[in-house]
Amino acid sequence: MKTDEELKKIALDLYSGKIFSDRHLNDPEKEIPLVFMIVGFMSKEDIKELESKEPVFVYEYLEKANKMGVNGYPTFFTMRYLNREEYNKMIGYHEKIKASINCVLEM
């Protein structure tokens, strides 16, 4: 389980455009293995183990992107993920960051 501080950093980095995630994809089910290439190389056992951890948000930092892309998306040999509880906390922080910045911009 990621700490609150780690989730706050992910939320800020997502807001700042430093992170590419499955939410950026048009068809995540088909495109995740193309973008997060490690998934395409996983064995059936590895995939089952990953699924048992219930990832609901797959992401990576854009600084880790490969030089080549696919269908206009960056590609990665690595990936990170959040489970539902982590994602819900992180997106809550993300919404607070967004609201705070919007509040300042409206001044």
**Residue 12 structural domain:** 4-99
Tens of pLDDT, residue by residue over 67-90, are 999 999 999 999 999 999 999 999
Q: Count CB atoms within 10 A of the CB of residue 33.
A: 14
3-state secondary structure of 70: strand
Return the closest-CA partner of residue 19 out of 40, 35, 38.
Answer: 35
Q: pTM score, two decimals?
A: 0.91
Q: How far apart are CA 69 and CA 106, in angstroms?
A: 37
Please give the pLDDT value at position 102: 86
User: Do 83 and 54 meet the contact criterion of CB atoms below 8 Å apart?
Assistant: yes
Q: Count CB atoms within 10 A of the CB of residue 63.
A: 7
Number of domains in the chain: 1
Residue 39 domain flag: yes
